[in-house]
Amino acid sequence: MTSLSLIDVHKAYGSTPVLEGVSLEMQPKEFVAFLGPSGSGKSTLLRIIAGLESPDRGEVWLDGARIDGIAAGDRGVALVFQQYALYPHMTVRDNMAFGLRNAKVPADEIDARIAQAAKTLEIEELLERKPSQLSGGQRQRVAIGRAIVKVPKLFLLDEPLSNLDAALRNRTRVELAQLRQRVEAAVIMVTHDQAEAMTLADRIVVMSDRKIQQVGSPMEIYDRPANRFVARFVGSPAMTMLPVTLTDSSDGLAHVVLDNGTHIPTGVAASVGKKGDSFDLGLRPENVSIVAAGAGTFDGKAMIVERLGDRTIVYAQLADKTEITALDKGDSNVRMGDKVGLSIDGRAAHLFGADGTGHHTVRAA
């Protein structure tokens, strides 16, 4: 049985469409990330699942029961807000107990649930403190704990790490990864941070332009993006796109020519198009290596050099002002303004057609 089913969900605010025909199947205990830019509809979709918004059209099912006509408090879901939403005058214990008391849960069961959640989140020593006495990371744990004690069928996390500083965000991300192994529920997290989605989710739902653009595992999304938007949105630095034209092929794989006449064999099947068709050649930074000037596919000028310790990212510019991102070793001696060789691994490249559809390296049988 699927944990969650969304069937052809539509939503508009007045004459402005927000979601158009969104459908999704989610498995029990699966961790799914809704990833997309601001305005893509991901938070609205989360609120529809939670019962804080109603779809104009479509259905929402949870554990085999339709819930889009059920009140939010009766759906068996728990929502963790970006802003924590803790009651400032209550202790941590009372914040966690508040919803259960309203639901008339027996006092001894409330105590047991709070004790278990506090142990799971390692906040036992914080139970008698008030929110003003907690750090941002501790408040976020309390907000998650308040959701856990409800024993929901589905956790909904609305950008839960966005208010934390970089170091705390990384640490809390690890804690969330560990926590999801200990809870008996599916999890949906809304985020615009691809690092969160890539490290936490079993599957990523990439959203843009009011629709789902692609659903897949983190590496499926990264290695085989469905279209030009996904390719550019997922991955940091973003994928380089170079306009190319298909040329003759004798090995069953697509060969392309750049505007400057450079010939590049790819690993994409030649059946992607016919000679003369226009495409964009998509290159991840790891598909372009820095070599000595004159020794690569072509030369460029290093405009920006970003040193990250274990690797160096070089943002280069070709003679025709085309920009291309390349990867070099951590102890690279490239400096801004240097002339560098750029060696393209065409067999790992992607091709994107006029409609934006992605075509990828043929996988070995």
Between 76 and 12, name the one with better pLDDT. 12
Cis peptide before 131, with omega less than 30 degrees from 0? no
The arithmetic mean of pLDDT across residues 339-343, rounded, is 95
User: Of the ranges 69-83, 119-133, 327-341, which one carries the lowest mean pLDDT score?
Assistant: 69-83
The arithmetic mean of pLDDT across residues 229-247, rounded, is 94
Which one, of 96, 101, 93, lies nearest residue 128 by Cα? 93
Q: Is the pLDDT of residue 1 over 90?
A: no
Q: Is the pLDDT of residue 228 over 90?
A: yes
pLDDT at position 31: 92
Give 26-44 as a 3 state SS string: ECCCCEEEEECCCCCCHHH
pLDDT band with cut points at 50, 70 and 90 for residue 53: very high
**166-179 and 107-121 helices cross at what angle (nearest 10)?**
120
pLDDT band with cut points at 50, 70 and 90 for residue 184: confident
pLDDT at position 35: 95
pLDDT at position 342: 95
pLDDT at position 167: 67
Q: Under DSSP, is residue 346 helix (H, G, I), strand (E, B) or coil?
A: helix
Q: Under DSSP, is residue 221 helix (H, G, I), strand (E, B) or coil?
A: helix
pLDDT band with cut points at 50, 70 and 90 for residue 319: confident
Residues 6+ apart with CB under 8 A from 14: none
pLDDT at position 140: 79
Alpha-carbon distance of 160 to 121, in angstroms, equals 15
Count other C-beta atoms under 10 Å from residue 37's C-beta. 12
Reported pTM: 0.86
Mean pLDDT taken over the chain? 89
Q: Is the pLDDT of residue 157 over 50?
A: yes
pLDDT at position 292: 93
Alpha-carbon distance of 85 to 100, in angstroms, equals 16
User: Of the ranges 15-24, 81-90, 275-284, 348-357, which one carries the lowest mean pLDDT score?
Assistant: 81-90
pLDDT at position 212: 96
User: Of the ranges 182-196, 255-269, 314-328, which one carries the lowest mean pLDDT score?
Assistant: 182-196
Does residue 347 come out as left (phi exceeding 0), alpha (psi in the -120 to 50 range) or beta?
alpha
90 CB-side CA count, 13 A:
15
pLDDT band with cut points at 50, 70 and 90 for residue 174: confident
pLDDT at position 162: 67
Structural domains of the chain, with CATH: 4-233 (3.40.50.300), 240-359 (2.40.50.140)
pLDDT at position 269: 94
Between 45 and 134, name the one with better pLDDT. 45
pLDDT band with cut points at 50, 70 and 90 for residue 315: very high
The arithmetic mean of pLDDT across residues 204-210, rounded, is 94
Q: Is the pLDDT of residue 51 over 90?
A: yes
Q: Is the pLDDT of residue 239 over 80?
A: yes
Q: Is the pLDDT of residue 365 over 50?
A: no
Q: Is the pLDDT of residue 346 over 70?
A: yes
The arithmetic mean of pLDDT across residues 158-180, rounded, is 70
The answer to whether the beta carbons of residues 266 and 280 sit under 8 Å apart is no
